[in-house]
Structures are given as structure tokens and as C-alpha cells.
């Protein structure tokens, strides 16, 4: 998987977050990192099939998830990772990926996306990648959302 494939997801994430979370995220540094289990963390995994094959994963701490979904719901206070939060975060991943697949299509890259799969720390063993290209989006007052392109080893 090529590094430039992360750009449509980065562009899409910035647009979607600005629309639904009402905050303009800043872009962190692109890097390569090992895929490891992190406590109190959530990943939204979306499979890519077609001219691109692999996974795009959005990773965020549970606290960031709560703040993002709260902002999506107009400031409604949330205190636990329940079905509403899981649904909201999954839908955010779905919106970002759908928009990114349209950007890719317009660039001549045909790709289908799978429905989002929410993965919490204790279920990370299902990932079959060891490294990821990653770029964080920094949201003031909320925290970071990592966009990761998983590279199968």
C-alpha cells in the first residue's frame, strides 16, 4: 500500500469532522508505527477492495470517542462507551471512508469499502498487520484521531 493512499482519507476526515463535530482539525506528522494493543482505545476498521486492498483504521482513545460523539449530538453529555457511542464512531468512520472512496474514484482509483467494524483494545488480536502508516488529526479541546493505513506483513 502506497503512502499517497492515505491522503484521500486525511482530506475526507478533515471535511467530515469539521461538518459533524464542528471543529477544524490540525494535521500531525505522517509516520510509520508498529500496531500494538493500547488500553482504553477504539479502532474503526474499514476494509478496502479493488485497485487498493487493505484496511484503513481510525484509532482514538475512549475519551476522545466520548467527546466526538457528544459534539456530534449537539453537546449531549456522554460518560461511557455504550451502543450510542459505538454507533456514532462507526458512522463517523463510514462517512469518512465513503467520502474518501469518492475522492479516489475521481482520481481514477476504483475501490469498494466494507462496513465499519468497531474494534476495542481487547479484540485487537484479529488484526493481521504489524505496521501502519499513520497520520494524526489533532482536534483542539477533544484530542487526537489517528488515521492508519495497515500494511499486511
Integer Cα distance of 117 and 44 in angstroms:
6
H/E stretch holding 88: helix 83-106
Domains of the chain: 3-152 (3.40.1550.10)
- What percent of the chain has pLDDT above 90? 55
126 neighbors 119 (Cβ within 8 angstroms): yes
Query: Per-residue pLDDT averaged across 91-100, rounded?
Result: 94
State yes or no: pLDDT of 125 exceeds 70: no
Q: Over 60: is that where the pLDDT of 152 sits?
A: no
Residue 15 is predicted with a pLDDT of 96
pLDDT digits (tens, 9 = 90+) for 35-76: 776 778 888 888 888 888 888 888 899 999 999 999 999 999
The dihedral of CA 151, 2, 49, 11: what is its sign? Answer: positive
Over range 23-46, report the average pLDDT: 85
Q: Residue 122 pLDDT > 60, yes or no? A: no
pLDDT at residue 153, as a whole number = 39
With CA atoms as reference, report the closest residue to 5 among 59, 58, 48, 60: 48
Q: What average pLDDT does this structure show over 98-109?
A: 93
Which helix (H) or strand (E) covers residue 69, if one does? helix 62-72
CA dist 58 and 66 (Å) reads: 15
What are the CA-CA distances from residue 7 to residues 4, 13, 21 (Å)? 6, 10, 20
- Asked if residue 100 has pLDDT above 70, the reply is yes
Residue 3: the pLDDT is: 64
- State residue 151's pLDDT score: 57
Amino acid at each position: 500500500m502506497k503512502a499517497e493512499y492515505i491522503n484521500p482519507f486525511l482530506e475526507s476526515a478533515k471535511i467530515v469532522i469539521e461538518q459533524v463535530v464542528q471543529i477544524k482539525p490540525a494535521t500531525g506528522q505522517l509516520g510509520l508505527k508498529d500496531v500494538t494493543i493500547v488500553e482504553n482505545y477504539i479502532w474503526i476498521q474499514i476494509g478496502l477492495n479493488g485497485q487498493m486492498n487493505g484496511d484503513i483504521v481510525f484509532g482514538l482513545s475512549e475519551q476522545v470517542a466520548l467527546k466526538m460523539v457528544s459534539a456530534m449530538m449537539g453537546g449531549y453529555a456522554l460518560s461511557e462507551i455504550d451502543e450510542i457511542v459505538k454507533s456514532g464512531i462507526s458512522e463517523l468512520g463510514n462517512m469518512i471512508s465513503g467520502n474518501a472512496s469518492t475522492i479516489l474514484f475521481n482520481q481514477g482509483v476504483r475501490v469498494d469499502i466494507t462496513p465499519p467494524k468497531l474494534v476495542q483494545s481487547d479484540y485487537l488480536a484479529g488484526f493481521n498487520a504489524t505496521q501502519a502508516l499513520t497520520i494524526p488529526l489533532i482536534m483542539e479541546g477533544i484530542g487526537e484521531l489517528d488515521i492508519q493505513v495497515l500494511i499486511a506483513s
